[in-house]
Amino acid sequence: MRVLAIGDIVAEPGREFVYRNLNRIRDQYKIDFCIANGENAADSNGITYEIAKTLYERGVDVITMGNHTFANKGAERALEELPYIIRPLNLPPEMEGVGYLVTDLGNVKVGVINLLGRVNMNPADCPFRAAEKALSKMDADVIFVDIHAEATSERIAMGHFLDGKVSGVFGTHTHVQTADERILPGGTGFIADLGMTGVEDSVLGVKKDIILSFFQNPGKRYRFEKAEGEVFFHGCIFEVDITTGKTTGVERLRFSKI
**Which active-site residues does the annotation give?**
68
142: exposed, middle or buried (C-beta count within 10 Å: 0-12, 13-18, 19+)?
Answer: buried
Whether the CB-CB separation of 164 and 145 falls below 8 Å is answered with no
Q: With CA atoms as reference, report the closest residue to 227 among 210, 245, 240.
A: 210
Distance CA 139, CA 96 (A): 23
For 134-158, the DSSP string reads: HHTT---SEEEEEEE-S-HHHHHHH
Distance CA 170, CA 146 (A): 5
| 131: helix, strand or coil | helix
